[in-house]
Structure 1
């Protein structure tokens, strides 16, 4: 009875803890925001939107180019096309290049370092296509651009000499663009590591106090100027930025009354899990992650039309391009920064249409009504008269058809509202853009450790004394139907196997994982919670994922193999119990362990390619796990009778 109560209380406490955690996560993922007294919706600045090009700017974003001298040459050739054909057709005022400009990976795709040839290719394309004569090119570093870079003054920091902005702006900077009578501000947030380890321990960005002060000063200058709107941009999503200072980066962005959005890259599609990651942060700004150029060849067209931000993500070479700026998509309403009265007072539907050939026709319908043909005003702007009072409440659907003179066509649609009715973002988008990566990664890591350690500890201390009391047969009859229970029970009684099995995952929480040359010629130490290298502490959350991968691919299967091995050995020593294992079952068990060992050796080889011999020699998570695992499996298969208590 006491064992049942112990298990019940353990499960009850676990469920309570999970419930509290999930409640906090759901509250955190809420996109409800508080409107301030000076929010956009309360503004007195009611601009009349008509059929002119006044108060309109459009610009592009491209991210995660990963230009490589070893892999996928089409990234380079198509980037050249983007800089020539796409920019010539769209004529953006600004292009935001948000990091990972080069790939910085070896020919094997494992080792990482800066290659001057990749940076020269990046610069040569920009020079050859005369990008700087056609637009304002605002580039910024990503984590790949800092692989194996010891500092801003390092010769390996090639961003300084081969980017457009790097020579004048080593980190965050501000750029203001005047379009007609309006001033627009673009603030770059560089969260890349000053000391950048090689892959994979270079995933989380850091904004230190000095950088926070600088960004805050940019915002202050903007608010003291005539600038109407601000776009923040950087490589890292805010969920993967650690802030060191009196405020975190979301609070800094959110407090800027004119800051419409933060645009970034870095996550790609998270291995195909999420193709589009957008959210409205609680602090009151849109966060828009852009799918990569590396594999997906996507870029983003954005426009600010009378203070209203609209955008569309586009696959390279997909023409024509169309963006409805009035009325904007209901998914991206931002009540704290945008004035809905602008939409409600507009006299025309406003559309930007681009192609490599002249646009022939632009037409729309609303709620499956009659098609209405647009009139070209100037450049890419097409307008259609409408009465917004006809759509004053609820959600409505606008469909658009665009065709150029060479017969290319585009059909698209979006939902809009004029009363502030919003469409929810996807759960995955909210999860990955709102919950900090360190929290998600560490939760997974500690959950896996709990799965590995707690069953063994509970079994040992809940049922450890049953043999002495003569109750072991009753316990096995009662709980023996639970998968692995008897095997875990036997393993928990063998001290020389039990203690190393639970010590290893616990050690990963507190002890160093490896020591080696992590950045250029600098020796560093890796822990689960961060890295010490070159006199710097780097709280890189990817270590948790790296450790989680080790636990799933090696430690968890090793524990299962050990449990089966001690089970077989136990009944070898107790032939009278009638469960003597067959030769085939023993052979299968050792074959499985051999495969597991080979996989771990492959990972160890990859680790050697990444960080060298010293890191491999002192690697607890790679080298020593193989040695300890081999010793344990031998002991589990050959332990003597006297080990059984």
Structure 2
């Protein structure tokens, strides 16, 4: 049976796509079975070597709870309620929940200037942050652990810069300019909280300050902190930072995921930064293959969210809460099946537990705390101490399959809250949403690089291939294949004609290749410090920052400018040849406008983006800017050349498309 070329191409594309999907699935897949953490000692007896076993009863021991808030973005130019409600959080929320620790995981201030495009550290914003912390006295009531985010690092050339206000106005910056650790002692146990600072060194202005970096020095520092937590016999370790691990570049032999996975007491990594990707990906949680939970918290800036988390008898639980949404409930036993950590937690503790455990909070006393298991009747919980309520249960009734637990709380102001989720005691698993897994698991920089190189190939190879095919047909005097699809044939003709025009073809190829390797712009990447931006990295004086978000800009530039420019020029070249076919044809004004409108839109788009670049990096950045100014010059000059070139430049294309005719001295095909 004869197999057509198109079938072979389709099969190859399907194979490549299948391999890509398989690799992504393998990357985000986490084994849902609970690990067999046993071994034999010298006497042949089985010993448990996995996570520590706790006897979960109605005890108030082995319990700690804490809060997380992220992306506060205190601003002196916009949304005053952001500041006033942050004050309420420090005053009312913290006083009502009384956590041991509050984690403020970056972007404490906004650092965006009034026009909304430029960026720099605003002294007044940092003063406001420190003023609220001091006025509410919150840092004396609880252990307040803050760490920098990318906005706190805008326009900072070095740690000792005068505008690095984090050193002077944050709670921890004076003693801990970067990553650090605190041990919290509760009862007989110690809990370690490790802050990870992955901010760039130096910190450029926006927008190319989105990806975090951990160099070898900082990786070693984090490893030292982990080792110190082991030496202090910490029962559990909570790691937090601003950047999700998917947006952190590691310049060392290892990365943060492998470090956290190798330390069995490291339970979770708490972060922010993504702002739910513009509310498109809420509940951004993932169990990493290394065994720990990574939990991105929605921002305070626009969504006013915070997180309540607890470690209760070795089981980590959490809930994300809207500001001023009372009462607050957190079920700690049994825990949500979606967030089980078989490598970090002991399922046996839940199976053999004697009580359901709930933490409940409100600004006023509580009336009732009730539990419903599956569809049974509601049962009232007993108050133990503080926010802890318990209910005796027979866990063997729920030992198989997936079950439902629901908690209901009513306070003295008759405000009600109901929380419900599924739990499992036999290792049964429920699939979580795949999109949050992708965002938190797949390395974002690799994805951006992949998209950039794919669009780069699409911008170069088709024209090069058509030029090669054109030379083959022209030299061998072969006929073109007959038409099958009119639309495809029409655009094949347009691109074919374009690739035969030497000046346009080489101009496009050289500019696209330059775009991939040459500098994009030279400007004040940091105030009073010139830098050079390439797609693969940025040089600021004698310092180098590897490319991250630059690949996203490169991808969008190729997709929204270079590729449309190629099709626009091809369309213009085709019309030039059509005018040659019928020189007496009258072209309406409407068609003339339609012919030049696309190129005008492309030029206008680059001009607008160039203006934004001027606001971000200054006048020099727009003058010495092949990225924007160069694109306008290239688009305008190539379009002008195509529409005004002598028709003799089309002779090569005409020899293939009109093998029986020639271009005469009057620029017409005979």
* Other structure's SS at 2:207 match: coil
User: For the residues of structure 2 that align with 1:35 and 1:148, how far apart are their CA atoms?
Assistant: 47
Residue 276 (str. 1) matches residue 283 (str. 2): yes
User: For the residues of structure 2 that align with 1:528 and 1:558, how far apart are their CA atoms?
Assistant: 20
User: Greater shift after overlay, 207-216 or 60-69?
Assistant: 207-216
Counterpart for residue 349 of structure 1: 356
Counterpart for residue 490 of structure 1: 497
User: For the residues of structure 2 that align with 1:276 and 1:505, how far apart are their CA atoms?
Assistant: 39
1:244 positional shift: 2.0
Q: Deviations over 1:348-379 (max 9, x none)?
A: 11011111111111112111111111121111
Equivalent residue for 2:546, pick from 539, 543, 547? 539
User: For the residues of structure 2 that align with 1:267 and 1:623, how far apart are their CA atoms?
Assistant: 31
Counterpart for residue 19 of structure 2: 20
Asked if structure 2 preserves the Cα contact closer than 8 Å seen for 1:41 and 1:336, the reply is no
Counterpart for residue 520 of structure 1: 527
Counterpart for residue 150 of structure 1: 157
Q: Deviations over 1:525-574 (max 9, x none)?
A: 11112111132221231001111222233222222221211111111112
Equivalent residue for 2:378, pick from 363, 366, 371? 371
Relative distance call for 1:179 and 1:401 in structure 2 (3 A) is: same
Counterpart for residue 75 of structure 1: 82
Counterpart for residue 320 of structure 1: 327
Relative distance call for 1:509 and 1:38 in structure 2 (3 A) is: farther
Asked if structure 2 preserves the Cα contact closer than 8 Å seen for 1:568 and 1:580, the reply is no
Q: Deviations over 1:154-187 (max 9, x none)?
A: 1111100000000000100000001122111001
Counterpart for residue 595 of structure 1: 601
1:451 positional shift: 2.4
Equivalent residue for 1:621, pick from 612, 627, 634? 627
Q: Deviations over 1:22-51 (max 9, x none)?
A: 322221111128958579974484321111
* Other structure's SS at 1:631 match: helix
* Other structure's SS at 1:257 match: coil
Counterpart for residue 309 of structure 2: 302
Counterpart for residue 441 of structure 2: 434
Residue 612 (str. 1) matches residue 618 (str. 2): yes
Relative distance call for 1:12 and 1:625 in structure 2 (3 A) is: farther
Q: Deviations over 1:70-104 (max 9, x none)?
A: 11111111111111111011101000000011111
* Other structure's SS at 1:484 match: helix
Asked if structure 2 preserves the Cα contact closer than 8 Å seen for 1:207 and 1:243, the reply is yes
1:582 positional shift: 4.4
Residue 564 (str. 1) matches residue 538 (str. 2): no
Counterpart for residue 469 of structure 2: 462
Counterpart for residue 222 of structure 1: 229
1:453 positional shift: 2.1
User: For the residues of structure 2 that align with 1:192 and 1:232, how far apart are their CA atoms?
Assistant: 16
* Other structure's SS at 1:525 match: strand
1:452 positional shift: 2.2
User: For the residues of structure 2 that align with 1:140 and 1:547, how far apart are their CA atoms?
Assistant: 31
1:347 positional shift: 0.9
Counterpart for residue 586 of structure 1: 592
User: For the residues of structure 2 that align with 1:81 and 1:589, how far apart are their CA atoms?
Assistant: 59
1:18 positional shift: 3.4
Relative distance call for 1:545 and 1:451 in structure 2 (3 A) is: same
Across the two proteins, how many residue pairs are aligned to each other? 639
Counterpart for residue 643 of structure 1: 649
1:304 positional shift: 0.2
User: Alpha carbon RMSD of aligned pairs, Å?
Assistant: 2.1
User: Greater shift after overlay, 194-203 or 213-222?
Assistant: 213-222
Asked if structure 1 preserves the Cα contact closer than 8 Å seen for 2:599 and 2:635, the reply is no
Residue 266 (str. 1) matches residue 273 (str. 2): yes
User: Greater shift after overlay, 459-468 or 233-242?
Assistant: 459-468
Asked if structure 1 preserves the Cα contact closer than 8 Å seen for 2:531 and 2:541, the reply is yes
Relative distance call for 1:391 and 1:547 in structure 2 (3 A) is: same
Relative distance call for 1:44 and 1:264 in structure 2 (3 A) is: closer
TM-score, structure 2 normalization: 0.92
Counterpart for residue 634 of structure 1: 640
1:438 positional shift: 0.8
Larger radius of gyration: 2
Relative distance call for 1:18 and 1:507 in structure 2 (3 A) is: farther
Counterpart for residue 31 of structure 1: 30
Unaligned ranges ≥5, structure 1: none
* Other structure's SS at 2:85 match: helix
User: For the residues of structure 1 that align with 2:487 and 2:84, how far apart are their CA atoms?
Assistant: 62
User: For the residues of structure 2 that align with 1:91 and 1:14, how far apart are their CA atoms?
Assistant: 57
Asked if structure 1 preserves the Cα contact closer than 8 Å seen for 2:51 and 2:344, the reply is no
Relative distance call for 1:462 and 1:10 in structure 2 (3 A) is: farther
